[in-house]
Homo-oligomer: A and B are copies of this chain.
């Protein structure tokens, strides 16, 4: 049982580090090219062929859109031509129209297979496949330039293949996009070396074939293309495309490179960056040319990745989720060149906040496995530019300040504008709820990411060089617990003075208050426990004194949290003091860190933290068994009190629940199908979307990178 028969949903096909993608996949919906956009574009995409009088076209355009030439020609008698996405047979209804108006598009019985690296569509005699690079970015400081260039080329390769061996007539095949603003014919710019179209807005496509001649066309209306005696490449018209003929009795394959390019400085604020790929490419023509020249390598690599992925022992819905997640993650990535050095940024999806720390901490598992150097790049940028020192206070006594310490900003900027050093774009003073500071949480995140980075890479040098920073983090952690050593209980009680008279919040900002408040928050308390353990890990070889303090704090945390376990409820309430008795899933999030640090004794129910682990296990069993945190469809509900659920955190907690707590419930095909359906049926226009309301759709054309946590399901299997 899976959702594999549902094939109508958008998928972003994204190169690495270019903040760009080519999106198609949902019926009666456009998509197309986007570069640095905070939405998914709604270009019409026409991919298909004409066989006699029948036109077969994949349904990735809006059939409701008016004929664009009406913008120029408004007449009393409307002369619209017909777009019928569903049925090509009912030509009787068109009897009153003249010959040309009988032309309609059809996509009956198309099929689709989304794999890890290949998204393949079949319609009649045509296959169309898009191959996406999904296997990391090498470290430019050590990687050979030839390889580096290939890995960061801002393009994806696609292939159209038409089998006309049984045909009696030549087939006319096409690939077109509309509207393209600032349209330029490649044939004109390259003296026919390349055939295709690019836009002054920074994207384009070029086609080549060994067995046929490819040509360009341009039209106001795709149907005009089929009705013209002599095909035109109308520059003014919004549609730009390529076409070619497949003779009867032949198979023809055409490679179509889909490329992106921004050559100028693309960031502002505190940082002037170009894209890293500008080191290798002067313009989009070079990108497209290079992509076509290297197509065999790109395609073969994708096929090899697909083969390995097919061996992973996870169900089809999980395969879909992982495949969709990785593509959406790369859609948000930007590899910059700043002062001739690489600078890595992941956008917060369509919100476009840069390097949001509470996303970074969840991207970690994928990133450490595929490009750990980027983790260090991001950690350094937080340590060097986006850290700050604060003082803290009790919420009820905002006028009395106590020592605080170092923490890190929520993000590093928004919409390609870097924020000033020491400040995020998200956090403001005096704000109740959303947009308040996340000082405690981001402090934890820095420590947790650092520990997992050191564990994964063995970069002892960096660890050694940053002992002072880690001990400062410890001090800052402790200062948020209690000003007096003897009163500490391992759990945060003081808010940063940066909040003004309001409270710190957590990454669960827009869920209910049970998860939003930081102080004595169960989710954050467990994360603080993991942070102390991570500090012990980071400090133990060079600073045993502080390492011991860290461990002691972890014990205090564990004890405090365990005591909060409510036997009557069968779980730990969301706020430890019991003011809020909600049941929440993310209580268990913190368990993943000792697991990834390979500290099994800390996760042993008979070990030093056995009581905590047992409580969390009971907590999780209860809330699943009692359906407190499950929707009716089997989808996970992060907080019993909210219909807002975030799939990235669900995938993460599913992994923890199964792998660490050995709970089978919640990791069945029913649960996975529910989550897959949220994406496929609930939000088919929003690839990788995180925030979902009771399985329902967000209205905007929106994407998000964090669902990459689903990579945890396969990260052992894909090596």
Instruction: Report the stretch among A129-137, A333-341, A419-427 that lies at the interface.
Output: A419-427
Kindly state whether residue A268 has any CB partner on chain B within 8 Å: yes
Using Cβ atoms and an 8 Å threshold, which residues of chain B touch A228?
Answer: 430
Copies in the complex: 2
**In the complex, A235 Cα to B183 Cα: how many Å?**
34
On whether the beta carbons of A182 and B268 are closer than 8 Å, the reply is yes
Kindly state whether residue A314 has any CB partner on chain B within 8 Å: no
Per-residue interface assignment for chain A, residues 301 to 326, with 1 indicating a CB less than 8 Å from any chain B CB and 0 otherwise: 00000000000000000000000000
Kindly state whether residue A353 has any CB partner on chain B within 8 Å: yes
On whether the beta carbons of B415 and A200 are closer than 8 Å, the reply is yes
Would you call the interface of chain A mostly helix, strand, loop, or mixed?
loop
Q: Of all chain B residues, which has the CB nearest A269?
A: B184
Within 8 A of B (CB), among A223-272: 228-230, 232, 234-236, 263-264, 267-270
**In the complex, A386 Cα to B431 Cα: how many Å?**
60
On whether the beta carbons of A74 and B644 are closer than 8 Å, the reply is yes
Using Cβ atoms and an 8 Å threshold, which residues of chain B touch A73?
Answer: 433-434, 509-510
On whether the beta carbons of B236 and A353 are closer than 8 Å, the reply is yes
Q: Of all chain B residues, which has the CB nearest A234?
A: B428
Report A409 CB to chain B, min CB distance, Å. Answer: 11
On whether the beta carbons of B232 and A429 are closer than 8 Å, the reply is yes
Q: Of all chain B residues, which has the CB nearest A188?
A: B420
Q: Of all chain B residues, which has the CB nearest A38?
A: B181
**In the complex, A267 Cα to B189 Cα: how many Å?**
13
Using Cβ atoms and an 8 Å threshold, which residues of chain B touch A200?
Answer: 267-268, 415-417
Kindly state whether residue A500 has any CB partner on chain B within 8 Å: yes
Report A508 CB to chain B, min CB distance, Å. Answer: 12
Using Cβ atoms and an 8 Å threshold, which residues of chain B touch A417?
Answer: 182-184, 200, 235
Q: Of all chain B residues, which has the CB nearest A284?
A: B268
Using Cβ atoms and an 8 Å threshold, which residues of chain B touch A69?
Answer: 434-435
Using Cβ atoms and an 8 Å threshold, which residues of chain B touch A353?
Answer: 236
Given contacts A232-B430, A414-B236, contact A351 B268 (CB under 8 A): no
On whether the beta carbons of B414 and A229 are closer than 8 Å, the reply is no
Using Cβ atoms and an 8 Å threshold, which residues of chain B touch A693?
Answer: 74
Report A394 CB to chain B, min CB distance, Å. Answer: 20
On whether the beta carbons of A425 and B232 are closer than 8 Å, the reply is no
**In the complex, A447 Cα to B668 Cα: how many Å?**
79
Using Cβ atoms and an 8 Å threshold, which residues of chain B touch A420?
Answer: 188
Given contacts A230-B500, A434-B69, contact A414 B235 (CB under 8 A): yes
**In the complex, A500 Cα to B228 Cα: how many Å?**
12
**In the complex, A188 Cα to B425 Cα: how many Å?**
13
**In the complex, A420 Cα to B218 Cα: how many Å?**
15
Within 8 A of B (CB), among A180-224: 181-184, 188-189, 200
**In the complex, A73 Cα to B423 Cα: how many Å?**
21
On whether the beta carbons of B188 and A430 are closer than 8 Å, the reply is no
On whether the beta carbons of A510 and B75 are closer than 8 Å, the reply is yes
21 A-B contact pairs sorted by A residue (CB < 8 Å): A38-B181, A69-B434, A69-B435, A71-B351, A71-B700, A73-B434, A73-B509, A73-B510, A74-B693, A181-B415, A182-B268, A182-B414, A188-B420, A200-B268, A229-B430, A230-B500, A232-B428, A235-B425, A236-B435, A263-B264, A264-B264
